[in-house]
Amino acid sequence: MESQRVVAGATASWRVAARRFALTAPESTRGLVHSKTWRPFWRCLQSTFRALILLTLRLRLRYHPFPTTMNPIVPDAQLFRANRERLKKLMLRNSLAVLNANDVLPTNADGTLPYIPNADLFYLTGVRQEETILVLAPDAFEEKHREVLFLRQPTEHLATWEGHKLSREEAQKISGVPHVQWLSAFPSVLHQLMCECEHVYLNTNEHHRAVVEVESRDARFIKQCQARYPLHHYLRLARLMHQLRVVKSPREIELIKAACAVTGRGFRRALQCVKPGVTEAELEAEFAREFIRHHAGFAYPPIIAAGRNSCVLHYHQNDQVCRAGQLVLLDVAAGRDQYQSDLTRTVPVSGRFTRRQRRVYQAVLRVFRQIVQAMQPGKTIRDLRVEAEALIAQECFGLGLLKPAQLRRRDPDNPAVRKYFMHGVAHPIGLDVHDVMYVHQHIQPGWVLTCEPAIYLPDEGFGVRLENTIHVTDDGPVDLMADIPIEPDEIEDRLNR
């Protein structure tokens, strides 16, 4: 909605300026506005002006992946109570767990990035407010200390400068935590509990792909706690959180489905605008409009990659023109109520695949279908990658990309197919797009995974990647995006309506 308003306003301003020029310019130049010779120039300049407005809007929207003020549909407290109970069952007796909110990160001068809630804290409380602390001490002597949530105390100053902050009653309703106190009470409560307990669970980011260069609020608290209480038995909370979060409850599945539904709406809307001459930024704006009007945001920085850009795995410039004969890769999905989805489609800019493009697309689609069915309990993510590489290698042979000798040469650390498919084929998704797990964990019912095979042909100027969000169940995998067009004929049909 915002993208449409901004572009419409910008276009209206352009037209007003053009009319003023026609009325006030000297007679010798006034005719340029209406001249048939100059009309293409004015149209090109107007298109460029629109593209600049869209680019500005994109920079604003891209870094707001989790809208927290746009009437979010907050999951009920029962979900967070159940999550806390599951965690407490895994904790040792006479133990304590402390979780901190994320920091509000700085940019330049006095600027800050939009606040991104801590996923573990949200999983246990549903609270998305900065500086929040959760303390769990199931065996505490005083019942009021067994679950305590600490918040910033609202003041008139905060209300004026930062907006509404949660009251204790509001935090109780959201989280189901019976005892909520202001942050000023935290040091004394922590000291009393540390004197009672033997084991202390503290949180860190243990995602296997995380590169942590900035000290987090949790990391600072670990230093302070261990300095003041050096003789306690400290334990890794992340080990337990990874075990819990990777298996989604039925309510979490419904929340992910809601994000998938918004993603489908965005994709269908963007398809209506795919044509030669459209910019990658304009397609991104169509997704943004549909996501925002459904109270969602980008689950991750969107990838709108035309032509050879589709072979850049994390292409984020989104500033090129989509040209006739190219493919455009759309790796764009919605996040809503903190739960994320993940989708990729590759579509022909001109409305029809070339013969070669269709062959590659169908090869990737065949692998996609097979890997979805291979997502069974008991396997690991690495097992799925090995299976995908074998299938894609066979498809590459059929496409004339690999020779029989290359197929026979078995080098598990560097198979020949990685020239054309060099990334994993699946990852967990939930509160984070690349959700937490340990690589040795075996897939279980309740996992939600992506399936994303691809073939990249930079020498031919295009790549094809297809991706959906899949729910693993006892009865087999369920594609949560099965209603979003993926068959090449359906894609072409929608592009030519």
pLDDT of residue 39: 53
Both 35 and 131 in one domain: the answer is no
pLDDT of residue 64: 41
Residue 60 pLDDT > 80: no
Q: What is the mean pLDDT of residues 17-22?
A: 46
Residue 146 pLDDT > 90: yes
Domain count, the chain: 3
pLDDT of residue 21: 43
| 70 in a structural domain | no
Question: Which residues are CB-neighbours of 10 under 8 A, at least 6 positions away?
Answer: 49, 50, 53
pLDDT of residue 483: 97
CATH number of residue 327's parent domain = 3.90.230.10
Residues 312, 263: Cα–Cα separation, whole Å: 22
Residue 10 pLDDT > 70: no
Print the SS3 string covering 401-413. CCCHHHHHCCCCC
Q: What is the mean pLDDT of residues 330-359?
A: 98
Looking at 35, 62, 89, the residue that finishes a domain is: 62
pLDDT of residue 212: 87
Question: Which residues are CB-neighbours of 362 under 8 A, at least 6 positions away?
Answer: 488
216 SS3 class: coil
**Residue showing tokens 């306690």:** 232
Both 302 and 155 in one domain: the answer is no
- Which pLDDT tens digit goes with each residue over 165-192? 999 999 999 999 999 999 999 999 999 9
Nearest CA to 428 out of 360, 492, 381 is that of 381
Question: What's the pLDDT band for 311 if we cut at 50, 70, 90?
Answer: very high
Give me the phi and psi of 274, to 5 degrees please: -75, 120
| 401 in a structural domain | yes
| Burial class for 466, CB neighbours closer than 10 Å (0-12, 13-18, 19+) | buried
Looking at 33, 62, 91, the residue that finishes a domain is: 62
| 374 in a structural domain | yes
Q: What is the mean pLDDT of residues 117-122?
A: 97
Residue 43 pLDDT > 80: no
CATH number of residue 113's parent domain = 3.40.350.10
Residue pair 101/137 in contact by the 8 Å Cβ criterion: no
pLDDT of residue 304: 98
Residue range(s) defining the domain that contains residue 177: 77-245
Residue 205 pLDDT > 50: yes
Residues 136, 201: Cα–Cα separation, whole Å: 9
Q: Which two tokens stand for residue 345?
A: 């489609």
Residue pair 481/263 in contact by the 8 Å Cβ criterion: yes
Q: Which two tokens stand for residue 422?
A: 């060099």
Both 132 and 21 in one domain: the answer is no
Both 345 and 454 in one domain: the answer is yes
The pLDDT mean for the chain works out to 89
- Which pLDDT tens digit goes with each residue over 206-246? 998 888 889 999 999 999 999 999 999 999 999 999 999 99
**To the nearest whole percent, how much of the chain has pLDDT over 90?**
81
Both 220 and 266 in one domain: the answer is no
- Which pLDDT tens digit goes with each residue over 396-445? 999 999 999 998 887 878 899 999 999 999 999 999 999 999 999 999 99
Question: What's the pLDDT band for 46 if we cut at 50, 70, 90?
Answer: low
